[in-house]
Structure 1
Amino acid sequence: MDSAALTKELVEIPSHEDETEAGDRIEQWLRTETDATVERDTHGNVIARRGDGDTSLAFVGHHDVVPPDPSQERDGGYVVEEHDGRIYGRGAADMKGAVAAAMCAFRDAEVSGYELVFASFVGEEVGGTGARGALEDGFAPDYAVVGEGSTNYSKQGVTDVVVAHRGRRGSTVHVEGKAAHASEPEAGENAIYRASDAIDVVRDLPFPETTVLGHEMRGSIAVTEIDGGTAWNVIPEGCSVTIDERTVPNERTPLSHVEEVPGVRVEVDQDLPPMACDDAEFADLVLDAATAMQDKTPEHVLKPHATDAGWLAEAGTTCVVCGASEPEEAHTADESVSVDVLDRCYDIYRQCGEQFETLL
């Protein structure tokens, strides 16, 4: 079975509410098609291992997806179509296509002198719950190629290698005031006014910046929601403001300055870590593999949003991201993946597996 056929099988299986059936198929395929040791952990992750050695390389993906568009469901399953050289369906791009390519490469790569690992996690779309659970249980590959999207980043028609990506910190600014009748505003403390002062602080905060393997990387911070007040004639005693911050490796915007405004408290709701590859030789090995498997010249690039590579990197795994998904392709009603690019990713992953020993 090749990457395209396996992709269609995996895409057809619903996995936005319950990843069990998709995990069952991945586990069964690995047990049937490979001689690997296969584990299904308590979180639902599927992890397989081949080869022996003190160093490990992992091919990493996830088999959960975001909820499908109504057009992508039929009779309790997902609709899968193939035409014009592309496979259409929920999860084709993000990221069952790359999972399938990695599974086939894991099966076919000649491994010597190290351990090759395949891992498909649950819960990536809801904050990396599967990856975090596996790491807490001791999952600790030395190196990883995470199959999230890196195609059409530097130029059209090329699959690049991501050496860093941004994280996401989401926070709520809780603002307390004192209620009063709106005809006597001086009798109260207007929480919306205090929130406005806090917003002015956020507006002036610097964006986080860093450099990864010679690439300048810049994050962002923005107010995205505000909620306050109870009635048109009441000075509001409460208000909340949502902040979206895109973080970069080892840098955060100093949100503590917002709490210098009276009555203001900042609560971090989500903190998805960024990723930075910490080994130029490994980044070059994957880039060399990508270069050998396509006519156009790929590059080391940056990715704007978080993936499970952030959790792995935070735990000490040296990571890059390389996969078939293209910008603005995932999570859409017409989500699709190129069959040719799936084949290319299979070749890249297999080449990485067979060349990895040269790093040791």
Structure 2
Amino acid sequence: MYSTAIKKPVCNNTINFLQTLIKAKSITPNDAGTLAWLTKQLVKLGFEFEMVNHHGVSNLIAKRTFSEGPCMAFIGHVDVVPATSLGWHVAPFSGDIVDGFIYGRGAADMKGGIAAMLSATKELIEDQRCKIGSLYWLITSDEEGEAEFGCKVIAEYLEKKNIVLDACLVGEPTADILAGDAIKNGRRGALSGRIQVKGKAGHVAYPENSINAAHLAGKVINCLTNIIWNKDEAGSKTGLQVTGVQVNNSVDNIIPDNCEVTFNVRYSHGYNSQQIINAVEQALEPVQQNLSCYWERPCEPYYTGHKDNHCFLTLVEKSIYETTGQYPKLTTAGGTSDGRFFSNAHTQVIECGVANSTIHQVNERVEIADLLKVEEIYRAILKNYFI
């Protein structure tokens, strides 16, 4: 049974935008009409747009040029992870409001950020003061999955068109408790490994005639978990977690001749994926003759530090201070994000959004006060960048 303590919709653009987006069941990679709706809103604000579709994934590239000057992009995704009704206080795609919170899949990750930025963009366009530069909206429906045909394709498209972005703001949920208390100026890399351990089967009563693959797997795990990551950067630590150990053995009197160990590494921007592979393979040298290692789903890290001139990180920090009275914590923790596709030696990428404590969970929600605070932060960022 869903809760009946549902308030009437609030008359506010950002809230209405978010409720509209939540009601669309845009489960990866289906945008469920959200990109068409968003395009319509941006066209009203004078944006030019192009849809770049690839392997069933829809990607929106919209642009509004004010004058010569720097280029900033807002990066986001409309796709969400699946949700069933089990355990929810309201229907997961209703966008209902309960006790000051908007509930629904994608409320925090990251339709709330899109709704807040749409309101902030509208206010920027309506501001009669002179503006410089160009504002891009780069939105995909393929972030929650493998992300092969989303922002990766958008970034490749921009490169082919010789479009150089100076700054990117990613609307991912980054706050710990309240909007603006934490932002991400990078993300750790991610790399998964799959190790096949080979042994020799035999009767458990005669172990001297066999090689127990499960016992060897124990040595493999010991090697993996004792790696020292001496290239870690401050505030960005590397961690390796074993995620699975499986023996293909259905009886209890046979020594197993195979075992699979899976693991994932989240690593500091002090490394690249090849350096992680080298470190793991070096650690496994004592048992390498009994195993094969396969690597999967590499995601390189990215990092944005402070610059002496035209620093987007400093601008975002200043905008948050103007809005909240406090400077944000800088962190690279958490999972991967689409920011990695746009970060380079020239383009600064910062992630800033609502609280992330309920993302991908039953009863995912965003507090209305937090949503409106993010909108206020976005307004300040746009004003400080373009006016």
How far off its partner does 1:152 sit?
A: 3.0
How far off its partner does 1:216 sit?
A: 2.8
Counterparts of 1:5 and 1:208 in 2: how far apart (Å)? 49
Decide which structure has greater strand share: 1
2:372 alignment partner AA: D
TM-score by length of structure 1 reads 0.87
2:99 alignment partner in structure 1: 84
1:238 alignment partner AA: N
Aligned-residue identity in percent? 23
- Aligned to 2:324, what secondary structure does the other structure show? coil
Structure 1: stretches of 5+ with no match in the other structure: none
Structure 2 CA distance for partners of 1:197 and 1:314, relative to 1, 3 Å? farther
1:56 alignment partner in structure 2: 71
2:247 to 222, 228, 232: 228
2:271 aligned with 1:256: no
2:6 alignment partner in structure 1: none
Counterparts of 2:70 and 2:327 in 1: how far apart (Å)? 30
1:143 alignment partner in structure 2: 167
2:25 aligned with 1:8: no
Structure 2 CA distance for partners of 1:242 and 1:208, relative to 1, 3 Å? farther
How far off its partner does 1:276 sit?
A: 1.0
Aligned length: 350
2:364 alignment partner in structure 1: 335
Counterparts of 1:132 and 1:315 in 2: how far apart (Å)? 17
Counterparts of 1:158 and 1:142 in 2: how far apart (Å)? 22
2:61 to 39, 47, 50: 47
2:124 alignment partner in structure 1: 109
2:47 to 36, 43, 46: 36
1:205 alignment partner in structure 2: 227
How far off its partner does 1:44 sit?
A: 0.5
How far off its partner does 1:74 sit?
A: 8.8
1:292 alignment partner in structure 2: 322
Aligned pairs for 1:184-199 (under 5 A) are 184-199=206-221
- Aligned to 1:112, what secondary structure does the other structure show? coil
2:204 alignment partner in structure 1: 182
Contact residue 208 and residue 219 of structure 1 kept, 8 A? no
- Aligned to 2:33, what secondary structure does the other structure show? helix
Superposed CA RMSD: 2.6
Contact residue 160 and residue 287 of structure 1 kept, 8 A? no
2:301 alignment partner in structure 1: 274
TM-score by length of structure 2 reads 0.82
1:195 alignment partner AA: A
Contact residue 52 and residue 60 of structure 2 kept, 8 A? yes
Structure 2: stretches of 5+ with no match in the other structure: 1-11
2:215 alignment partner AA: Y
